[in-house]
Amino acid sequence: MEEEIELREYWEVLRKRWLIVIIIPLIAALTSGIISFFVMKPVFQASTTMIVGKKASESGLAAVQMLDNSVLQANLQLAKTYATIAQSRTVEQNVIKDLDLALTVGQLDSMISINPVKTTEILEIQVQNTNPELAADIANSMAHEFSKAVIEIKKVDSVSIVDVAVTPDKPVKPNKKLNVMIAFVVGLMASVGLVFLLEYLDNTIKTSNDVEKLLGIPVLGVIPNYEVGKQG
């Protein structure tokens, strides 16, 4: 019974300031929608995957090598090494020179992510940019420059392109609908918190229930407030 009374009191607090509960989430969602649809530029992602060939001296060993945990760990470490080479300053400088980009190495590096595919020696190069054609060009150029660098550094047989980067037709961000939903939920939480804060700070007496709570005695009667019209 006490829980029902508490829930009723919470509902009365929200009902009393229902405008705040409605307006703040709507303003938050509307603001997020305007920013997502009209301010933020869409970002496109292009990706290419590559596989690095074995060294010539290792080709004979590969046929008799067992696929045990140590081999998997070695492949994983090798993939990390390749990822470091792919995102090295030398490779990125060559990409900037190859495509004649008006970017610094740091700016280009922020667009690129190198992801080893699980325990294999396959690498995925992802490039994000507001220009979809440029994103694909950078990804393909990264793959080309990485191939040259890893063959020279690690003396591998070859680097094969599994998937060439193509021009993306849909942006990966911003997720406009998700942004609006998150803004609405956050706004709703903020509005409910604000309503209860205002109620906590409000120590004025407005109803007979407030009198009973303050004095701890029941209210025996209420004098209604009648407005007396002026006699003409």
All domains of the chain in start order, with CATH = 2-38+175-208 (no CATH), 42-163 (3.30.70)
User: For the whole model, what pTM was predicted?
Assistant: 0.69
Q: Is pLDDT at 105 greater than 50 in this prediction?
A: yes
Position 59 scores a pLDDT of 46
Q: Which two tokens stand for residue 42?
A: 């869409």
Query: Tokens 């400088």 label which residue?
Result: 93
Lowest mean pLDDT among 26-40, 155-169, 179-193: 155-169
CA-to-CA separations, 212 to 103, 154, 155, in angstroms, rounded: 71, 84, 87
Q: What is the dihedral of CA 58, 63, 68, 73, to 10 degrees?
A: 30
